[in-house]
Amino acid sequence: MAEALGLAVNIATVVDLSTKIAKTCVQYSKEVNNAREDIARVKEETLNLKTVAESVARLLEGPRGATLKTSQTLLGAAQAAESRLKVLDDELRPSDTRKAMRRFGLRAFRWPFQKEDVEKLVQEIERYTQMMSTGLQIDQTTILLSLDQKFVLDKLPTAPEASFDSHAEEHNPTCLEDTRVELLDELHQWINDPSAEAVFWLNGMAGTGKSTISRTVAQSLGKTNQLGASFFFKRGEGDRGHASKFFTTIASQLVRRFPMLALHVKDAIDADPAIHTKFLREQFNRLIFEPLEKVQEAYQGDSVVIVVDALDECEQDNDIKVIINLFSSGRSLKSPRLKVILTSRPELPIRLGFSEVKGTYSNLVLHEIPAPIIEHDISTFLESELALIRDEYNKSVSEERQLPPDWPGQSNVQTLVSMAIPLFIFAATTSRFLKERRRGNPDQQLQRVLNHWNKSQEPKADLASKFDLTYRPALDQQLAGLSASERNEVIQSFRRIVGTIILLSSPLSARAVAKLLDISREDVYDRLDMLHSVLDVPEDSASPVRLLHLSFRDFLVDPHYRDSNPFWIDEREVHRQTATNCLRVMGDHLQEDILNLKKPGTPQSEVDSSQINACLPPETKYACLYWPHHAEQAGCGAELIATVYDFLCRHFLHWLEVLGWLGKAYEILPMLRAIQSAVAHSDKGGALQDFVGDAIKFVQSNLHMISTVPLQLYSSAYVFTPQRSICQDLMTKRSESGVQTQASVFSNSTIAASEYGREIQANVFSNSTMNQPFGQPLSPTTQPS
């Protein structure tokens, strides 16, 4: 605040002194004959300084003044100019003797400077003027950069929870001190090696600690300003589960980290506002590679590192291969050097992707790290966690109930280490299980884990057995002491509630899950209360329940466990139930003008998100966005086909309206094609196939309208709906346009759409309709061309 006030005062003083000195110079020029050229030069430079100072003053009072007021460059220039002008004002002020001479009519003004002094003075004032002008230019450039940066950040759609430092990742672990030492050293050496390849592939089986390493590296690089961006994929977590917002999220983070990129990314967006909908290759080139290429000369620094975790959890196999290929091309950038750390399981799409870019990456296989190193790291982790569990428990109970100071004993620690190797997820899950107080103290919980190990008379070292040891103790405790009928009730409840949670496309809160399943919230919490070691169950009922590790879902749906695991989940059946529940929720809630706007011309861009959230609860939004996915995964049987058909006949337009308000209009066509694909081979799906085929054409015709003014679906869209179409029957019931003439069939030239349903060009208007307002009926003689 003091600096801001100081700059304004300094500038005002510079303006006042410049004005005063210029007037004094005018007086001198009238009374001094032998120095008029010198006087004119001083006056001119002083007025130049005044002009610049007045420009600063005007900007300080403008909308960007707050930014300028904190400028150290301007403040220093203004203070120096003020100080010199004060001295000059004193030097030009007539002395008392000259004032007395003037009273007697004698010439009182005598120019106080020699010619060489004037040259020096003019250069000084000129330097202060230049300093202030340069400072102003720098700050204005900074403001423009920040405006470009804001523009980019506003325009690029992102997945904010994918960043390593997002709230969603806040409580996830990093590597414990004195663990993964050699591996982290190797990664940092690769980062700082200018001759190293552009991509480092860290791969390992499920549960070997890849994400923990990624977070540790990202956190470390963030502290040294080497981290450019991070993206942590997570299947079932909405935008984190696919690549639609991958490169736009990376670009957005890079612009935040390096503002100099903002102008070039802005140019790409200006050239193509729909760049975020284009092929991944074009997004990468235009938003990331080319901007980095254009700042090579201005960049001061070494490597820019991007950390991408769990690439195998990206939904589309082809997208995975494209991402690997594109990042490998970053080796051509020399300044800044682009380095990318990718972690994943060694799944087939990943291996295929890297096989196409041989020689362009380094790699390290976690499960091939020497056993003594893994044993040391897991042992260090367990010893630390068990000591923490013991101390926290002892603080919470009376002295006679406390665990011994050496609990659990070195022998038990070694057994747990043997059970864990090579899965860090076993150590982490077991630690969380021991903290669970609902079924006993830590020692009682430990005995349950050890007993499960002892029951397998010949403990196996294969991965499947390891996951059974990891997750069965937490699951089996739910059945302890129950009768056969009670066990069956718990298992059915588990499959319904937990099965839904682990197969959701985006996590929901316990409250929303209860509404989706049409059961009480207490029923959901009763089932989750003993699963905190495998699920993240927040105390706040409005926060989402999340998987702690994808391997838990893999374990529950693995067909190999169908007979041996009582908690086994039939993936297809749960998808069928979830699709049916989504359709029920939408059927109960969707209606025309769901936001109660009562203004058909309201643009989507003017509707506040708080209003959308108030009218569309989480389970309704989820149902609208993901029911096609669940229906597709369920493989539409006759019953589900009938339910889908009934829903579309009743609520098709309502559903489109909601997707318009949610900003998801361009995802409608892929959703409809998913339904089309799901019923393609069913002999019961003829009517639904016809409806969906018609619906696709309708959406293609009205895609822009749905995305910009969704309520126009019920009026203006009527004009472009042919009479001989299924959708026209729906429109007729609701349209208020009174238009009697429509095209008889959908025109093939209605719209050109990309393979993924994104609009390229719509051009169906005749000259006679181009200037009519949106929402107004066309004249009876006007038909779409």
Which residue matches tokens 């009517």? 687
Alpha-carbon gap, residue 556 to 94, rounded angstroms: 96
Residue 572 pLDDT > 90: yes
Q: What angle do CA 654, 657, 658 make, to 5 degrees?
A: 90
Give residue-wise pLDDT tens across range 61-106: 765 556 555 566 677 888 888 998 999 998 888 765 455 445 544 4
- pLDDT score, position 148: 65
Compute the distance between CA of residue 344 and CA of residue 341 in angstroms, rounded to an integer: 10
Q: Would you kindly state where each structural domain of the chain is located, as residue ranges?
A: 2-147, 160-368, 372-464, 484-569, 573-762
- Residues 408-430: tens digit of each pLDDT: 999 999 999 988 888 899 999 99
DSSP tag of 287: I
For 531, the enclosing helix (H) or strand (E) is none
Q: Is the separation of the CB atoms in 531 and 498 below 8 Å?
A: yes
Is 785's pLDDT higher than 70?
no
Can you give the pLDDT at residue 729? 66
**Cα–Cα distance, 509 to 544 (Å, whole number):** 4
Calpha distance 311→324 (Å, rounded):
9
Q: Which CATH number among 1.10.3470, 1.25.10, 1.20.120, 3.30.1360 corresponds to the domain 2-147?
A: 1.20.120
Q: In what order do the strands lie in the sheet with 337-344?
A: 227-232, 303-309, 337-344, 199-203, 361-365
Domain 484-569 CATH class label: mainly alpha
Q: What is the pLDDT of residue 752?
A: 40
Q: Residues 408, 449: contact at Cβ < 8 Å?
A: no
Q: What digits encode the pLDDT tens for the residues 757-777?
A: 333 333 333 333 333 333 333
Token output for 404: 């011994």
Return the CATH class of domain 160-368. alpha beta
- What rounded mean pLDDT belongs to the chain? 84
Residue 365 one-letter amino acid: V
Which of the two residues, 27 and 495, has the higher pLDDT score? Answer: 495
Question: What pLDDT score was predicted for residue 726?
Answer: 64
* 196-214 pLDDT, tens digit each: 999 999 999 888 999 999 9
pLDDT of residue 422: 86
The one-letter amino acid code at 356 reads E
Q: What is the pLDDT of residue 743?
A: 43
Instruction: Please tell me the predicted confidence (pLDDT) of residue 577.
Output: 97
The CA–CA distances, whole Å, from 366 to 202, 208, 222, 549 equal 7, 7, 24, 17
b/e code 380-401 from CB counts within 10 Å (16+ = b): bbbbebbeebbeebbeeeeeee
**Overall average pLDDT of the 705-713 stretch:** 93
The DSSP H or E segment spanning 533 is: none
pLDDT band at 379 (very low <50, low <70, confident <90, very high): very high
pLDDT at 139: 58
pLDDT(223) > 50: yes
The 3-class SS string of 663-694 reads CCHHHHHHHHHHHHHHCCCCCCCHHHHHHHHH
pLDDT at 620: 98
Q: What percent of the chain has pLDDT over 70?
A: 83
| Residue 775, helix vs strand vs coil | coil
The better pLDDT of the pair 525, 109 is held by 525
Which tens digits make up the pLDDT trace of 124-159?
888 888 887 776 665 555 555 566 667 777 788 999
Looking at residue 143, what is its pLDDT? 54
The CA-based dihedral angle spanning residues 273, 277, 279, 285, taken in that order and rounded to the nearest 10 degrees: 40
- Cα separation, 187 vs 203, in Å, equals 13
pLDDT at residue 484, as a whole number: 93
pLDDT at 760: 37
CB atoms inside a 10 Å sphere around CB 156: 22
The values of phi and psi at residue 477, to 5°, are -65, -20
pLDDT the model gives residue 711: 93
Closest by Cα among 141, 160, 375 to 256: 160
Q: Report residue 527 as tokens.
A: 């089932």
Give the Cα separation of 285 and 292 in Å (integer). Answer: 10
| Residue 167: how many other CB atoms lie within 10 Å | 10
Q: pLDDT by residue (tens digit) across 719-768?
A: 656 656 666 666 665 544 444 434 444 444 343 443 333 333 333 333 33
Length, in residues, of the chain: 785
Give the CB-side neighbour count of residue 767, counting CA atoms within 13 A.
Answer: 0
Nearest to 679, CA basis, from 717, 724, 632: 632
Alpha carbon 250 to its chain's center:
9
Residue 725 has a pLDDT of 62
Read off the pLDDT of each residue in 250-275 and give the average, rounded to a whole number: 89
Per-residue CA distances from 19 to 23, 405, 600 (Å): 6, 82, 60
Neighbours of 563 (CB within 10 A): 8
Predicted pLDDT of residue 540 = 84
The most confident of the ranges 65-79, 123-137, 507-521, 672-686 is: 507-521
Q: Which residue has the higher pLDDT, 561 or 648?
A: 648
Least confident residue range of 195-209, 238-252, 567-581, 729-743: 729-743
pLDDT over threshold 70, residue 779: no
Would you place residue 363 in the very low, low, confident or very high pLDDT band (cuts 50, 70, 90)?
A: very high
Q: Distance of alpha carbon 336 from its chain centroid, rounded? A: 24
On the CB side of 749, how many CA atoms lie within 13 Å of its CA?
A: 7
Whether residue 222 contacts residue 230, with contact meaning beta carbons closer than 8 Å, is answered with no
Structure tokens at 63: 């909308």
Max Cα distance, the chain (Å): 124
Does the pLDDT value for residue 438 go beyond 70?
A: yes
The contacts of residue 195 (CB under 8 Å, 6+ apart) are none
Q: Which residue has the higher pLDDT, 24 or 298?
A: 24
- For the ranges 333-342, 491-500, 582-591, which has the lowest average pLDDT? 333-342
Helical segments of 224-367, H only: 246-257, 262-271, 280-284, 290-294, 317-328, 348-355
Q: Residue 422, SS3?
A: coil
Q: Is the pLDDT of residue 443 over 70?
A: yes
Task: Identify the three-state secondary structure at position 227.
Answer: strand
**pLDDT for position 439:** 75
Nearest to 642 by CA among 591, 572, 576, 695: 576
Handedness of CA 240, 246, 252, 255 (dihedral sign): positive
